[in-house]
C-alpha cells in the first residue's frame, strides 16, 4: 500500500452537518521526501523509501548522511518503505497530504502507549473475581485457573498471563477521513489512533 | 496557531464564529433548534450563564433558569449546529468566572448587578 509518515497531534471533537458530535484525531501527515526508489531490476522488488521529520546533521551517521545527500535532502528522523504509488515518483520528490484527497478511508499504524507490567484484568480484559464475599480474599483481579490438573500436567503455551503491556505496533483499519487541510499538512480522521501525542504514525492510503 | 486549533477552525463555519462574547453572570437567550419528526422549530432558553468551559470547537456554556420554583440548567456546546443564535440580554457584574454559588441564592439575593459596558 502507498502511504505517508506522520505524527499524532492530538484529539478533539467536531460537529457533523447533522449535529452529531464526532470524536476525531488530528494527524500531521507529511511532507515526506522520497529518499530511495527500489526497482525490480536493482532490488528484486519495487518500493519507495520515504523520509519524514528533520534531524540535525550532528545526530546523523556518515552513512545516513550520504544516503540523504543522494536524494538531495536534509537528514530525516523517520525512514520507512512503502509500496509504489500509482503515479511515478522519482528520487527527491516531496509527497504531501494531498494524496489522501480522494480517499474516504485510511489505515493507520502506530506504537501504542506503553503501560508497563500489568495484570490480566488490564492486559486481556479478564473479569477477575466479581465477588468480594463468598470466601474471596485478595483475589479481586486474579486470573483464575490456568488449566486442568493431571492431564495435561502443564500449562499450555501462550496462556494469557500478566506482563508487559502496550508499546506494540498496532494497525487500525479504515478510519474515516473527515478533512484534509493541505496548507498545514493536516489530516483529520474519525476516532482514535494508537500512541501518544507526538508519536510517529504511518498513514496508509 | 497550533495544529489542533487549525483543524477545529476548519470545521466551524463562518456564521457560527459570529457568536457574541459572553461569560458568567450574563443573561442570555439561546435559540435552540429542535427537530420533531421532519419539522424543525426553534425553542428559546433564557437564563443566567454559570460558566463557560473548554476552547475551540469543544467550548460549552451552562445556562440556569428558574422554571416556576425549579431551577433548570442546560449545558450547550457553543458550536453545535443546533444553536441558531445566542442573544446576550444583560451583562452581569460578577467577580468569579464560575458562579455556582448562584444556585443556592433565592429571592432578593438571586440578583446580579448589571455591568456598564466599557
Segment B76-90 mean pLDDT:
87
Rounded to a whole number of angstroms, the distance from the CA of A13 to the nearest CA of chain B is: 6
Q: Are B101 and B24 in contact (CB under 8 A)?
A: no
Residue by residue, DSSP assigns A90-137 as: -TT-EE-GGGGTT-SEEEEEEEPPP-EEE-HHHHH-------SSTT--
> Tens of pLDDT along A145-154?
888 989 999 9
Segment A33-57 mean pLDDT:
87
Nearest-Cα residue of chain B relative to residue A17:
B81
Asked if A179 and B8 come within 8 Å (Cβ–Cβ), the reply is no
Residue by residue, DSSP assigns A31-78 as: -EEEEEEE-HHHHSS-EEEEEEEE--GGGS-HHHHHHHHHTT---EEE
Whether B112 is covered by a domain: the verdict is no
Nearest-Cα residue of chain B relative to residue A18:
B81
The pLDDT, as a whole number, for residue B1 is 60
Residues of A in contact with B7 (CB under 8 A): 9, 12, 24, 26, 179, 181, 186, 188
Whether B107 is covered by a domain: the verdict is no
Residue by residue, DSSP assigns A11-23 as: EEEEE-TTS-EEE
Residues of A in contact with B19 (CB under 8 A): none
Whether B51 is covered by a domain: the verdict is yes
Q: Which residue has the cell 459596558?
A: B117
Whether B117 is covered by a domain: the verdict is no
The pLDDT, as a whole number, for residue B16 is 67
C-alpha cell at A88: 511515478
Compute the distance between CA of residue B18 and CA of residue B12 in angstroms, rounded to an integer.
Answer: 11
Whether B76 is covered by a domain: the verdict is yes
Q: What is the ipTM of this complex?
A: 0.75
Whether B113 is covered by a domain: the verdict is no
In the predicted structure, residue A70 carries a pLDDT above the cut 70: yes
Q: Are A167 and A123 in contact (CB under 8 A)?
A: no
Sheet holding B39-53, edge to edge: B70-77, B60-67, B39-53, B27-36, B83-90
- Assess B57–A contact: CB distance below 8 Å, yes or no: yes
Q: Which residues form the domain of B51?
A: 3-95
**In this structure, what CATH number is given to the domain that contains residue B76?**
2.30.30.790
Determine which of B3, B5, B7, B40 to mutate to test the interface with A (most A C-beta atoms within 10 Å): B7
Whether B89 is covered by a domain: the verdict is yes
pLDDT tier, B15 (very low <50, low <70, confident <90, very high otherwise):
low
C-alpha cell at A102: 480522494
**How many percent of chain A have pLDDT more than 90?**
36
Compute the distance between CA of residue B109 and CA of residue B112 in angstroms, rounded to an integer.
Answer: 8
Residues of B in contact with A186 (CB under 8 A): 3, 6-7
> Tens of pLDDT along B90-116?
888 888 899 899 888 888 887 888 887
Whether B38 is covered by a domain: the verdict is yes
CB-based burial label for A189 (10 Å; 0-12, 13-18, 19+): buried
How many domains in chain B? Answer: 1
Amino acid at each position: 500500500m502507498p502511504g505517508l509518515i506522520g505524527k499524532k497531534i492530538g484529539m478533539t471533537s467536531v460537529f457533523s452537518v447533522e449535529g452529531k458530535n464526532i470524536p476525531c484525531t488530528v494527524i500531521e501527515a507529511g511532507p515526506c521526501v522520497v529518499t530511495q526508489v527500489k526497482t525490480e531490476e536493482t532490488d528484486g522488488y519495487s518500493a519507495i523509501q520515504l523520509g519524514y521529520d528533520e534531524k540535525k546533521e550532528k545526530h546523523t551517521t556518515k552513512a545516513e548522511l550520504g544516503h540523504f545527500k543522494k536524494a538531495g535532502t536534509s537528514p530525516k528522523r523517520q525512514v520507512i518503505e512503502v509500496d509504489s504509488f500509482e503515479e511515478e515518483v522519482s528520487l527527491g520528490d516531496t509527497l504531501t497530504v494531498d494524496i489522501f484527497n480522494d480517499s474516504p478511508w485510511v489505515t493507520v499504524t502506530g506504537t501504542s502507549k506503553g503501560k508497563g507490567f500489568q495484570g490480566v484484568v488490564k492486559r486481556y480484559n479478564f473479569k477477575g473475581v466479581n465477588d468480594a464475599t463468598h470466601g474471596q480474599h485478595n483475589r479481586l483481579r486474579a486470573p483464575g485457573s490456568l488449566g486442568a490438573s493431571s492431564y495435561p500436567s502443564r500449562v499450555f503455551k501462550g496462556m494469557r498471563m500478566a506482563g508487559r503491556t502496550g508499546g506494540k505496533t498496532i494497525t487500525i483499519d479504515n478510519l474515516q477521513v473527515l478533512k484534509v487541510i493541505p496548507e498545514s499538512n493536516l489530516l483529520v480522521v474519525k476516532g482514535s489512533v494508537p500512541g501518544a501525542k507526538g508519536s510517529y504514525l504511518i498513514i496508509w492510503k | 496557531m497550533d495544529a489542533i486549533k487549525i483543524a477545529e477552525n476548519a470545521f466551524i463555519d463562518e456564521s457560527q464564529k459570529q457568536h457574541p462574547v459572553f461569560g458568567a453572570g450574563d443573561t442570555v437567550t439561546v435559540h435552540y433548534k429542535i427537530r420533531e419528526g421532519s419539522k424543525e422549530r426553534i425553542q428559546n432558553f433564557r437564563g443566567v450563564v454559570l460558566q463557560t468551559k473548554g476552547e475551540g470547537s469543544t467550548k460549552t456554556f451552562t445556562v440556569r433558569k428558574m422554571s416556576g420554583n425549579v431551577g433548570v440548567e442546560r449545558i450547550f456546546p457553543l458550536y453545535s449546529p443546533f444553536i441558531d443564535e445566542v442573544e446576550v440580554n444583560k451583562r452581569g457584574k460578577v467577580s468569579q468566572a464560575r458562579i455556582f454559588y448562584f444556585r443556592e441564592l433565592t429571592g432578593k439575593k438571586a440578583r446580579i448587578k448589571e455591568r456598564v459596558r466599557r
